[in-house]
Structure 1
Amino acid sequence: MKRGFQVVSKYKNEDIKLPIRATKNAAGYDFFAAEDFVLPSIWKMNFIKLLWRIRKEKTLRPEDYTKAADDLRPLLVPTGIKAYMQPDEYLLLANRSSSPLKRGLILPNGVGIVDSDYYNNESNEGEIFFQLVNLGPKDYHIKKGDRLGQGIFMPYLQADGEEQPLGERTGGFGSSGR
């Protein structure tokens, strides 16, 4: 097996859809939501209160920034899917082109990178999540089975003379960062 998708054990009996390509020449595999999920609008939370205080030239307290930053954090929408691939490959996660325009949903990091050693990690079995922020004026309700984004398998190259990294993946989402 070179590369592909599997359902994580948590969703084994939940009728999860494996990613698919929509057309024969599509590069990306569409990923679907594993469950219903609500993405709150940033405009009804503490973020808007911070903007109001700035506009009214009010004194800003450290807790104003903290509350606003908490509201602006992306939420992780589960797919119930893990991906296996060759050691010199990664899965590039990208937003659907219609999501910002039609739904106001963005991937705040632009793209996601799923390394080959993320598969079957101890922390979350390698489940793939899409980080999303809702810029729309209302909460956005994602239904189980809705398309979230797409994944594209990509090879990568290593630099000449690179010292081989000694670290091993020790966890799930975001665990390879130092």
Structure 2
Amino acid sequence: MTKKRGFEIVTAYQDKAIQLPIRATNHAAGYDFEAAEDCLVPSIWKVLFKNRKLETEQQAEGVLPEENRKHLKSTLVPTGIKAYMGEDEYLQLANRSSNPIKNQLLLPNGVGIIDADYYNNEANEGHIYFQFVNYGIKDHLVKKGDRIGQGIFMPFLKADNERASGKNRMGGFGSSGR
């Protein structure tokens, strides 16, 4: 039987009791992904409340102290999972509907796109991460095994007379270009 699409555990997580994504109900579109390890998602508000006084020069230049920058970026939560699919498909990553209301977690890019050539790439073996921003007042600890998002396999169409770059994927986030 030829494999069409599915999930595998990445090598680094083979012995960590990772669960492959499953659909929660018979008619669910998405496969539920779990966190592969505990991961703290810091509150973005820490920056505002921790150091309310920035030097006038820094404010004018739009520069934040280095200690504040760590709270103003996304947190990558590992799943320990990679996905394989047809070359005319992609895996769409979506937030769980309960994450914003219960945990104040958002996907800053709205949805994630996992291309077919992300599978087994040289840089990270195709390891899928969910990217979160915490807009809540308190830090949020994602625990190993927590359901963090969904993946939906989707077909896509190509334009007539398309011009492909001819490049092969070499890495993870942002590796396909600028």
TM-score normalized by the length of structure 1: 0.90
- Which consecutive unaligned segments of at least 5 residues does structure 1 have? none
Q: Which residue of 2 aligns with 1:119?
A: 119
If each structure's helix is expressed as a fraction of its own residues, which one has the higher value? 1
**Secondary structure of 1:72 counterpart:** coil
Alignment of 1:7-86 (within 5 A): 7-44=9-46, 46-48=47-49, 52-53=52-53, 60=59, 61-64=61-64, 68-86=68-86
Q: For residue 34 of structure 1, what is the amino acid of its counterpart?
A: A
Q: For residue 43 of structure 2, what is the amino acid of its counterpart?
A: S
Q: Which residue of 1 aligns with 2:163?
A: 163
**Secondary structure of 2:71 counterpart:** helix
Could you tell me whether the CA contact under 8 Å between 2:29 and 2:152 is conserved in 1? yes
- Which consecutive unaligned segments of at least 5 residues does structure 2 have? none
- 1:64-95 superposed Cα distances (whole Å, 9 cap, x missing partner): 27665542110110000000000000000000
Greater alpha carbon shift after TM alignment, 61-70 vs 8-17: 61-70
- 1:6-41 superposed Cα distances (whole Å, 9 cap, x missing partner): 000000011001101001010000000000111111
Output the CA distance in 2 between the equivalents of 1:106 and 1:30: 16
**Secondary structure of 2:130 counterpart:** strand
Q: Aligned residues, how many?
A: 174
Q: Which residue of 2 aligns with 1:136?
A: 136
Output the CA distance in 1 between the equivalents of 2:141 and 2:20: 21
Q: CA deviation at 1:164?
A: 2.4
Q: CA deviation at 1:161?
A: 1.1
Q: Percent identity?
A: 60
TM-score normalized by the length of structure 2: 0.90
Output the CA distance in 2 between the equivalents of 1:13 and 1:64: 41
Two-structure CA RMSD over aligned residues (Å): 1.9
Could you tell me whether the CA contact under 8 Å between 2:6 and 2:84 is conserved in 1? yes
Output the CA distance in 2 between the equivalents of 1:40 and 1:49: 13
Would the alpha carbon gap of residues 130 and 82 (structure 1) be closer, same or farther in structure 2, given more than 3 Å must change?
same
Q: CA deviation at 1:165?
A: 2.3
Q: For residue 100 of structure 2, what is the amino acid of its counterpart?
A: P
Q: CA deviation at 1:173?
A: 2.4
Greater alpha carbon shift after TM alignment, 109-118 vs 156-165: 156-165
